[in-house]
Chain A
């Protein structure tokens, strides 16, 4: 059975501009590699617009990443894929604990993070790096500051409500919640913005998660993101560039 994990595919895809999450950090989630020993994983390192190609649209009509194809079964949405992989491959139970209350905590975080973490973190990357790089224009300072304030507030909420004084979100062991939280919070690094600077507790948690995953795997998964600053955007399809200019309008 072949598994197709489209890991850091097209960091700068021909973008679905109506979804700011198109740089789904979920594309970097290493869980699919960690537990799929013996399975072939296809990684697509080719051009930016690959996931708008005809071939890919057959896999995922929503043209979004990440995407899983398991025989005839096709699945999108990172959280759905992570849950599927955990169960299908009987990964160690700490990833998605079976205890009712602990699992509910993971579910609660996975739901909350969509708007509280994923969206704002992705926006920072756009505002600080991608939009200026591609359009040549800066996003108004007021909007940038608003976004950064929201991020700081939510990081605080994350620390107070989800992490608290524990090693990981569910307690002593890493779970999907930590994995998703961290890959989302890494997004701004692509634009040289580090959200962990203000809290030593969060910085310690970050390191703990990285070590639990394994630093080699962690940084391998983030390689494309960290090299984003080197991307030559002159190769970008003009139509895509135009759509990004339209996106810029939303921030005015």
Chain B
């Protein structure tokens, strides 16, 4: 059995891993995991990853979670261009610097609009307007920092070349866009970065990766999103309770 990637393309870090593997021609078996049908918390999956999270990688007997770790593993193990995770000390440090900030200020923040508008209502939870506004403000601040501290006048987030950092950022920023919050509007610098990045990745690959999430509102409207399995409720409620 070769490399297996356990992914649900609704999830931002899953998409980053998917795009990276595909763009670099890394051979893998896709193991789709449907979060809302409760597959994450199933017995089968918890044998793969007892943290019950996606993305997850299985390479023979070696199992790995956390998108950052998976991306670094793939870029180290397979022949990928150096620019993704450069061997140069300072260039690599910049990626880790971005990823540290990303973990605090992007992850957990940009996923909230999907929760507010689509996922929480599936289990009858409606977030107070105060929280929605607080999240908007947090996203605005993060986007400003993204432009001022990271992007600045560079082509990409950590320099002149695409890196793992750009993939992680793009997939998070797409999430609110999918539910109608166009955070690229009024931000020409960020828009240019996105266009450059998507051109580099290729529109076909982007459409393939983003197709599911960008259709999410339509699916919700047509009642095509399955009701979450009962065993998923506690996880959903916990996630919702963490929204500041």
A residues apposed to B, CB below 8 Å: 18-19, 21, 61-62, 73, 75-81, 83-84, 87-88, 100-101, 103-105, 107-108, 110-112, 114-115, 146, 157, 160-161, 250
Contact = CB atoms under 8 A, between A and B. Distances in A.
A148 to B, nearest CB: 14
Q: Is the interface of A mostly helix, strand, loop or mixed?
A: helix
Nearest to A88: B89
B148 interface: yes
The contact size tier of chain B is 35 or more
29 contacts: A18-B138, A18-B141, A19-B105, A62-B101, A62-B145, A75-B93, A75-B94, A76-B101, A78-B100, A79-B100, A80-B97, A80-B99, A84-B96, A87-B89, A100-B76, A104-B62, A107-B69, A108-B66, A108-B69, A110-B68, A111-B66, A111-B68, A111-B69, A111-B99, A112-B51, A112-B66, A115-B103, A115-B108, A157-B51
Interface of B: 50-51, 62, 64-69, 72-73, 76-77, 89-90, 92-94, 96-97, 99-101, 103-105, 107-108, 138, 141, 145, 148-149, 241, 244
A248 B100 CA distance: 25
A19 to B, nearest CB: 6
A243 B69 CA distance: 35
Contact of B89 (A84, A104, A157): A84
Contacts of A61: 148-149
B50 A160 contact: yes
Contacts of B149: 61-62
B29 to A, nearest CB: 19
5 closest A-B pairs (Cβ-Cβ)?
A: A77-B100, A80-B96, A107-B69, A111-B66, A114-B103
A88 B76 CA distance: 19
A104 B69 contact: yes
A100 B141 contact: no
Given A18-B138, A111-B67, A157-B51, A80 B104 contact: no
